[in-house]
Amino acid sequence: MRFKEWISSYLRDTANITEQVDVAAAASNIRSNIYFRGPNVWILAFSIIIASVGLNVNSTAVIIGAMLISPVMGPIMGMGLGLGVNDTRLLGDSFRNLLIMVIISLLASSLFFLLSPLNLANPTELAARTSPSIYDVLIALFGGFAGILEHARKEKGTVMSGVAIATALMPPLCTAGFGLAKANWHFFFGAMYLFTINAIFIMFATYLACKYLRFQQKSFADERSARRTRTMITMVVLLVTVPSIWSAFIMIRNNNFTTNAQNFVSENRMYARAYIYDYKIENGSKRNVTIFLSGEALSDQEHLDLVELAGQYGIKANELKIKENAFASENNESKKLVEGIYERMDRQLEMKENEILALQATVDSLNGRRIPYEQITAETIAQYPQVTGLHLSRGATVEADSTRVDGILAIVYCDQPLAPENKVRLENWLRVRLGGDVALELLTINNLQ
């Protein structure tokens, strides 16, 4: 029992933070960092340029360096503090400075990307900042908790540097500037959405921490002013909290749907006598996954079985679209690419077929030229009993003037010499039997005893 009490007491002492924080100093520190004027403006602009360079050249190290020197956390945490202590003036000042920060960031990054001569064919670092996920929400929320605790604790450390890197507020603003400079609204709105999500959850974490640590609330001259302020703060908190929770819910749902769809495709590439060669996932008000099949067309029953199989992965029947022998994209370049693949395959198949036909013709020709040795020898011996053996071979004779004459050499083995008329008759018969268009030399050799 004592051991259990000791463990409980130890855990309480270890996790207790109230004795290790100075909320008054934290509030003062946050208030002093919300303003953008003088050096802060230039530091912000310089850090934006550095981050833009890193994004432009796909350099993660440069992006991290820009986040370390950027002062963007101040106004966001100021808004969270204003909500937590019912200070509408601080909330308004923080919001105005946040807008100034966003405007400066967009102007600086847009100007850089307008003047930059480098246009990457695959800007992966930029593209990565256009699609928020639930992980971005979690990083922003817990990064906000770490940030406010770093401001509040008595012994300062290097936590704020890690928070600046983890919450990644700079890259989305730079990506939005890229979208403005290139008139790419997908990049602009996607990046601004990511920045908004990060800012809201950092602010929300600051608000919760201020309530938990019991930051000193703002005092009011009369109860009416206090009630009006609390009502306004409550409305702002609800306006921030409800959309944030809903956004997090939508992100979790979309993330799960995407994961399920990818698993469904990867684990069922081969289905029946067809192959899933591409797929497209759409998340939004209407979620769906479109799969593109090549091969033999599916039967009605196979269609139903495929829909049922998708249901095992959490994909409803109205969320699955099946396109057979269709291009995965209406984009002309993608279509030409697929057409080019099929054309190359057709050409290669045609070449292979021609090679097979040529080889078959060669085999047929050789078979047609094959001498039936056993049959001709038997026929010769039947006509001329003195013949004991016959040697036949194809060859060529080259004359002195380099004239080449293709023919057949016949060597006849006899017990006794053939009569001249029999020799002529045998020679004529062999020419007819082996083909009259070939030259024939006939040698008669008596067997040696």
Q: Do both 135 and 47 map to the same domain?
A: yes
Q: What is the CATH number of the domain that holds 436?
A: 3.30.300.30
Q: Do both 395 and 431 map to the same domain?
A: yes
Q: What is the CATH number of the domain that holds 296?
A: 3.30.70
Residue with the two structure tokens 């890229």: 178
Give the H or E element holding residue 388. strand 387-398
In a domain, 100, yes or no: yes
Q: Do both 48 and 195 map to the same domain?
A: yes
Task: Say if residue 438's pLDDT is above 60.
Answer: no
Q: How far out from the chain centre does Cα 188 lie? A: 22
Helix boundaries (H) for 57-133: 60-69, 73-84, 88-115, 124-127
C-alpha distances (whole Å) from 349 to each of 326, 355, 359 are: 22, 10, 15
The sheet with strand 274-282 has its strands ordered as 270-271, 274-282, 288-295, 320-324
Task: Say if residue 179's pLDDT is above 80.
Answer: yes
Q: List phi, psi (to 5°) of 292.
A: -115, 120
> Is residue 144 a contact partner of residue 206, using CB atoms and an 8 Å limit?
yes
Q: Do both 19 and 168 map to the same domain?
A: yes
> Is residue 170 a contact partner of residue 47, using CB atoms and an 8 Å limit?
yes
> Is residue 82 a contact partner of residue 208, using CB atoms and an 8 Å limit?
no
Band of pLDDT at residue 127, cut at 50, 70 and 90: low
In a domain, 249, yes or no: no
In a domain, 22, yes or no: yes
Q: Do both 364 and 412 map to the same domain?
A: no
Q: Please name every residue paired with 207 in a beta bridge, in sequence order, or none if there are none.
A: none
Contacts of 50 (CB under 8 A, 6+ apart): 62, 65, 66, 69
Tally: H helices and E strands in the chain = 16, 7
Region label for 321, one of left (φ > 0), alpha (ψ between -120 and 50) or beta (otherwise) = beta
Q: Do both 42 and 124 map to the same domain?
A: yes
d(CA 274, CA 292): 10
pLDDT tens readout for residues 260-278? 888 888 888 887 777 787 8
pLDDT tens readout for residues 341-373? 667 777 777 888 888 888 877 776 655 567 777
* CA angle (72 as vertex; 237, 207 as ends), nearest 5: 25
> For residue 341, what are the domain limits?
332-369
C-alpha distances (whole Å) from 427 to each of 329, 408, 419, 431 are: 75, 11, 12, 6
Q: Do both 350 and 381 map to the same domain?
A: no
d(CA 444, CA 426): 11
Contacts of 370 (CB under 8 A, 6+ apart): none
Band of pLDDT at residue 328, cut at 50, 70 and 90: very low
Count of C-beta atoms within a 10 Å radius of residue 146: 19
In a domain, 52, yes or no: yes
Q: Do both 34 and 153 map to the same domain?
A: yes
In a domain, 225, yes or no: no
Band of pLDDT at residue 332, cut at 50, 70 and 90: low
pLDDT tens readout for residues 142-155? 888 887 887 777 76
pTM of the model: 0.57
Q: Do both 266 and 173 map to the same domain?
A: no
Band of pLDDT at residue 165, cut at 50, 70 and 90: low
Contacts of 390 (CB under 8 A, 6+ apart): 373, 376, 377, 380, 381, 410, 411, 412, 413
> Is residue 414 a contact partner of residue 392, using CB atoms and an 8 Å limit?
no
Task: Say if residue 230's pLDDT is above 50.
Answer: yes
In a domain, 252, yes or no: no
d(CA 248, CA 240): 12
Last residue of a domain, one of 306, 324, 342: 324
C-alpha distances (whole Å) from 90 to each of 80, 145, 210, 256, 416 are: 10, 20, 14, 39, 132
Q: Do both 112 and 81 map to the same domain?
A: yes
pLDDT value at position 56?
A: 76
User: How many folded domains does the chain comprise?
Assistant: 4
Task: Say if residue 219's pLDDT is above 80.
Answer: no
Q: Do both 71 and 15 map to the same domain?
A: yes
Band of pLDDT at residue 449, cut at 50, 70 and 90: very low
In a domain, 281, yes or no: yes
d(CA 281, CA 328): 11
Q: Do both 383 and 357 map to the same domain?
A: no
* Mode of pairing for the β-strands spanning 439-446 and 404-414: parallel
In a domain, 50, yes or no: yes
The sheet with strand 404-414 has its strands ordered as 387-398, 404-414, 439-446
Band of pLDDT at residue 329, cut at 50, 70 and 90: very low
Helix boundaries (H) for 168-295: 170-182, 185-212, 223-267
Task: Say if residue 439's pLDDT is above 60.
Answer: no
60-69 and 159-167 helices, crossing angle to 10°: 130
Task: Say if residue 326's pLDDT is above 70.
Answer: no
pLDDT value at position 397?
A: 67
Task: Say if residue 340's pLDDT is above 80.
Answer: no
